[in-house]
Amino acid sequence: MQEEVTTAVGMRPAPPSAVDQPEVRVDPRMTVLLVEDNDDIRAALAEWLELEGYQVVTAADGIEGLDRLEEGIEPRAIVLDLMMPRMDGWTFLERLRADPRHSGLGVIVTSAIATPRPPQADTCLAKPFELCDLRRALARIVSN
């Protein structure tokens, strides 16, 4: 069965063999901060993450993402776009890693631009990416 929430720009449906892989059970208290400026991608990814069992907090750019952290959310992982207005993903990562309260958070960077992985990121997924790849990257981060 093919996954349902895969029609937004920047994502491809997972191949049937990837969907049939064993399901990772997620602690329902695990929060993911999703920082993405594209409204459609942000909405689709947030819905998919919720279907996967995560609590999702969204932000439209790096400034909003840092604001969410200052508000006191405690995500287990961050899914971060690189190219955003106001504050891009590179600047967000620099500030995140400079703050001892958040320096250890796992970060999955998603980007449509061909660039080397930012050294502060734990994983980098090129858009369009397979949702099964995001599932695996999140599972690695939240299991640590």
The answer to whether 47 touches 74, Cβ cutoff 8 Å, is: no
User: pLDDT (tens digit, 9 = 90+) per residue, 28-74?
Assistant: 569 999 999 999 999 999 999 999 999 999 999 999 999 999 999 99
Compute the average pLDDT of residues 16-35: 61
Please tell me whether residue 122 adopts helix, strand or coil conformation. coil
Q: List C-alpha distances in Å: 34 to 2, 59, 73, 103, 123.
A: 23, 6, 12, 17, 14
pLDDT of the residue at 29 = 62
Compute the average pLDDT of residues 77-95: 95
| pTM, entire model | 0.80
- For residues 89, 60, 38, 128, the Cα torsion angle rounded to the nearest 10 degrees is 40
Query: Does 94 score more than 60 pLDDT?
Result: yes
Q: Which CATH architecture has domain 28-143?
A: 3-Layer(aba) Sandwich (3.40)
Domains of the chain, residue spans: 28-143
Within 8 A by CB and 6+ apart from 114, the residues are: 126
